[in-house]
Amino acid sequence: MLYHKIRKKNHIFFFGHRGAPQIAIENSIQSLSKSIELGSHGVEVDIQTTKDHKIILFHDDYILSSSNKKYFIQKTAYKKVVQLCIENNIPKPDLFNDLISLITNNPDTVFNIEIKSRSFNNSKILRYILNNIDQETLYNQCITSSFNYFLLYQLRFFLLYKGPIALILSNANLKGKISFSINKALILLLKPGFLHVSIENYSQSLVDWVHRKSMVINIYTVNNNSELKKCILLGVDGVFTDNHTLYN
C-alpha cells in the first residue's frame, strides 16, 4: 500500500494527529487539509456514530452541555450534538462523507481512520465504510484502526476485510507481563499489519518483536524533536504528531 512506498523513501512516516490541531480545530476537514498542505505523509482522524447513525469526525466519548451534563456521542442524536456545539461555541463536527471527498482528492496521502467504539458489534459503521469507499482506495490509502479488538476482529474475520488494519495499544495493554502476554496472543491471532503504541510504553524490545512478526509500529503522540530522534534511533516506522513543524 501507499504507506510502505512512502516509508521506503523517508527515515520515518509522519501522520498529522487529528490533522494540524495547532492551526485548526482537531478532526475537522480544515485541520486534516492543512496537515496535508504542510507536508504530512498521512493524517489520523477519529470517527464515531451518533444515536441516529450519523458518522461524525469526533474524538471524545461525550460532549458537555452548558450545565456540564455529559452527552455520550453514541447515545445522542446528531441534531442534539450540533445543538451542544452551538451552546459551547465550537464548530459542529464534520461528517464522514466530507472525509470521503478529502480522501478521493488526495490520492498521495494515507488516511488512518480510527473508529471510536466500546461496542462488541460494530457492523453498521464497518459496513458503511466498506460500502462507501471503493476497495482500491481502502486498500491503498486507508488504515482502519481501533483500540477495540472485537471491532477489528469482526472486520477481519466476519466481514472478510483484507485491507490494512491497526490495533492501538494503550498504557494498560502494555503494563505488566501478564497483560502484555495476553495482548501479544491477541495480536498474533488478529494479525494486524500495524501496531500503534503509546509513547509511554514503547521500547527497543517491542519494536524488534513487532518487526520480527512482519508488522509496522507507529508511535503516538510524538510532539518534539527529542522524542522524534528516539523513535528514529529505535527503528520506529512512523509517528503521530500534533506538531506540524516536525514534518513541515
- Residues ≥6 apart with Cβ < 8 Å to 103: 109, 111, 133, 137, 141, 142
Q: How confident is the model at residue 173, as a pLDDT?
A: 64
Strands 62-64 and 70-72: antiparallel
Q: How confident is the model at residue 32, as a pLDDT?
A: 98
Residues of the chain with pLDDT under 50: none
Q: How confident is the model at residue 170, as a pLDDT?
A: 81
Predicted model pTM: 0.95
In the chain, where the domains are located: 2-59+96-246
Residue with cell 483500540: 147
The verdict on domain 2-59+96-246 having CATH code 1.10.3470.10 is no
Q: How confident is the model at residue 175, as a pLDDT?
A: 64
State pLDDT tens for residues 164-190. 999 999 866 666 677 778 889 999 999
